[in-house]
Amino acid sequence: MKKLLFLLLFSFTFSLQQSIAQSFSTGGGGSAERSDKNFQFMPVPYINYDRTLGLSVGALPMAMYNLSKTDTISPSSISGALGLYTTNKSWFTLGFSKFYFAEDRYRVTVAGGVGDFNYQTYVGFPLNGFLQYATGVNFIKGEIQRKVIKNLYAGVNYMYTDFENSFDIVPDTTSTVQLQTLGFIVSYDHRDDVYYPTKGEIGNVNIDVSPDFLGNDQPNTKITIDFNKYFAFKEGRDILATRMYVGFGVGDLTFNQQFIVGQSDIRGYTQAKYRGNAMYNIQGEYRWNFHKKMAVNFFAGLATVSGANDSSQNGILLPGVGVGYRYNVFPKNHMNVGLDAAVGRDDWGIYFRIGEAF
């Protein structure tokens, strides 16, 4: 039972980190048209649905701005905040910023949030079902990247999270866990735009280290490699985006650090059922811009995991397919928000998007 509680304790962490990464990720390089205004503000409603939290509603005010009037090379920076409440009585607030400056030689990302979630996780033998638990969470994250040579960036990041958890299977039991991770990233970026690439490619290698000298109970290293390629159609109006992703652990990964099929890789899985110490996937997305401020995206992909807690999940092919709607909130930079609906193997979900999935 103690081991089971330890595994459950970390199940929410990974899905949180995936959501954070998706919420303000724009890659590590490329260029973009700068906003022709020094400051643009856009309040955006938030709506999301998954089979764990239920319906989520909230608000997402965002601002796009230029840090320097004389720096005409750096893309516009962006800041935002998110507040949400769900039908299973969970809540969360998040603030984030991504800064571009010094003629795009430096990129800095900062984020922080606090929330209280009523969550679940899938446990195989002997339970073979989902277990409910509540998690109070606080986190901060910071990242800095610097251009090394043309199209090549390198950087470091740090993330701290602390959790207070209580489980339905053990009444009146509360436990607290703190996690600290140091990350190193190298990006080759040859896209034509950081917010909405129409051609080119970007490749990232991320190495996340959880050392014991930072107080982590189980030191290990987690490595992810991804590569995105973009193709323009109809004179650049429509886009075909393709993606390859590989992730694996060196050493024993804790449950929270395991790879979960879902979010950007692959959409259509919201119950966190398929997870393991390694994950592999490919996917493609066609972005049909039928209007100057609106688009419809069609996407499909295939994923699999290895080193799963439930060995019967190893090597299972997990398809995901869906469609999404996009609305352009910052036309000069082609910054979109929208919703994706996707179905997977015995699962489905609706995803709110800030920018594109990849």
Q: How confident is the model at residue 245, as a pLDDT? A: 95
Q: How confident is the model at residue 157, as a pLDDT? A: 94
Taking residue 241's Cβ as centre, other Cβ atoms within 10 Å add up to 20
| Tokens 């019967």 -> residue | 312
Residue 321, C-beta contacts closer than 8 angstroms, at least 6 positions apart: 268, 299, 300, 301, 342, 343
Q: How confident is the model at residue 16, as a pLDDT? A: 43
Query: Can you list the pairs that 221-228 forms with residues at least 24 positions away whose Cβ atoms lie under 8 Å?
Result: 221/249, 221/250, 221/251, 222/247, 222/248, 222/249, 222/250, 222/253, 222/257, 223/247, 223/248, 223/249, 223/250, 226/358, 227/201, 227/202, 227/203, 228/27, 228/197, 228/201, 228/202, 228/203, 228/358
Angle at 17 between CA 198 and CA 271, to 5 degrees: 95
Domain count, the chain: 1
Which parts of the chain sit beneath pLDDT 50?
A: 1-32
Q: How confident is the model at residue 47, as a pLDDT? A: 81
Quote the CA–CA distance of 313 and 318 in Å, as a whole number: 10
Quote the CA–CA distance of 295 and 288 in Å, as a whole number: 5
What's the domain range around 119? Answer: 2-354
CATH number (domain holding residue 240): 2.40.160.50
Q: How confident is the model at residue 137, as a pLDDT? A: 83
Q: How confident is the model at residue 187, as a pLDDT? A: 92
Quote the CA–CA distance of 14 and 263 in Å, as a whole number: 11
Q: What is the pLDDT of residues 83-132, one digit of tens each?
A: 999 998 899 999 999 999 998 899 999 999 999 887 766 666 666 666 66
Q: What is the pLDDT of residues 152-174, one digit of tens each?
A: 999 999 999 887 767 666 555 66
